[in-house]
Amino acid sequence: VEKILEKNLQDVYSRMTPDQQLRFRQTGEATASKIVELMRAVKIKVGAVAQLIVKWLRLIPGVNRYFLEQEAKIKTDKILALKQRRP
C-alpha cells in the first residue's frame, strides 16, 4: 500500500522543505496503516480509502485540484486491485 501511495510523488516530495517532508511522510505512513485496516474488512469502503488519500495529498503545498483528484483516483483503483488479488 505504501508503494502505491508514494508512486509518482518523488518530484513533489523533493521540492518540499524538510519539515513538510517529515509531516508528509508521517501522515502517509498513518494513511497507509488505516487503508490496510480498511482492506482487512470483508467489504472495502471505497469512499473511505479515497478520502484518506485526498486528505494526505492535500498536504502537498500548492497542489491543484485536478492533480489531487486524479492521483487519488489512480491510487484508490490500484489499492482496490490489490485487494482483489489478495482476498
Residue ranges of the chain with per-residue pLDDT less than 50: none
What pLDDT is recorded for position 86?
67
Whose cell is 508503494? That residue is 3
Q: Check residue 83 and give its pLDDT.
A: 81
The CA distance from 54 to 43, in Å, is 21
Confidence (pLDDT) at 56: 96
CA–CA separation, 70 and 65 (whole Å)? 8
Rounded Cα distance, 9 and 74, in Å: 13
**Which pTM was predicted?**
0.84
> What does the alpha-carbon distance between residue 71 and residue 43 come to, in Å, rounded to a whole number?
23
C-alpha cell at 55: 486528505
